[in-house]
Amino acid sequence: MPLMTDSAAEVRIRQLRRRVEQDSTSPLFVALAEEYRAAGRLHDAIRALEKGLHVHPHYLSAQVALARSYMEAGRTDEAAAMFTKALESDRGNLVSARSLADIYLSRGDRLEAIKKYKLYRALSGDRGLDEVIEGIERDLRPVSEPAAEPSGRVLADLYFSQGHYAEAIALYGKLLGSNPDDQELARLQIEAEARLAAAEPASLAFVPGQDRGSAMRGARIQALKRWLGVIRQGSPGRTMA
């Protein structure tokens, strides 16, 4: 039985090839190509279709047949180009829409793949693609970016507001090193120094005979003098405790 089938196929191929050779404008080149494909002769099918499309460049069935033959031959780029051409000719071409979606997905181009899958679903009503489309949409969603670390100024103000004056002073000093003309930073650093002096009197150096209250008042006065000096100069520099 297989021998008879093969023999019959060869007869059809010879007959179609003869008719196409006799009339170069005959559309039967598509039928000839399909016989070649069925017989596993992809090279002959592609050659017949390419030759026929030179004469009938807008023959949609021939475009789709050639694209399929390219796919079967492993020529994916040429298949994608031909399927795209066919889809441009006929936006309702289901074979081209679905084939392009599969090609794009295999390449990792999810954005183009989902466009073609949605087009195919809209044209065909095939809800079996819902899960595939939802999966691609999940992959396309941007990953939430981790929360940014607070800037030096934000962190310094946070330390200041929470009473961590030593840490605030260090950060304000560092910021002033990069922004020596920032009067607000200079003011905050000096105020932090004054508050640290008031909050930690034990850390002050004592002059013999001077009581603790005098030391605290002295620290506040020194901080205030530095603050006034910065304001008078108009261009504050870095101040440290």
For 166-201, write each residue's pLDDT tens digit.
888 888 888 888 888 888 888 888 888 888 877 655
What local confidence, expressed as pLDDT, does residue 217 receive?
Answer: 54
Q: Which of 219, 118, 226 is nearest to 172 (CA)?
A: 226
Residue 202, judged by CB atoms within 10 A of its CB (0-12, 13-18, 19+), counts as exposed
Give the DSSP letter string of 111-148: HHHHHHHHHHHHHH--GGGHHHHHHHHHHHSPPPPPPP
pLDDT higher than 60, residue 211: no
Q: What is the pTM of this model?
A: 0.56
The pLDDT score that the predictor gives to residue 64 is: 97
Question: Which pLDDT band, with edges at 50, 70 and 90, does 223 fall under?
Answer: low
CA 168 – CA 160 distance, rounded (Å): 5
> Contact at 8 Å (CB) between 22 and 41?
no
Phi, psi of 42 (to 5 degrees): -65, -40
For the chain, the distance separating the N- and C-terminal CA atoms, rounded to the nearest angstrom, is: 102
Residue 237 · residue 180 · CB < 8 Å: yes
- Domains belonging to the chain, first-starting first, are 2-140 (1.25.40.10), 153-233 (1.25.40)
DSSP letter for 151, please.
P
Lowest mean pLDDT among 14-23, 123-132, 225-234: 225-234
Query: Rounded to the nearest 5 degrees, what angle is found at the Cα of 20, between the Cα atoms of 86 and 47?
Result: 50
Please state, in angstroms and rounded to a whole number, the distance separating the CA atoms of residues 44 and 239: 86
Q: How confident is the model over 79-98, as a mean pLDDT? A: 95
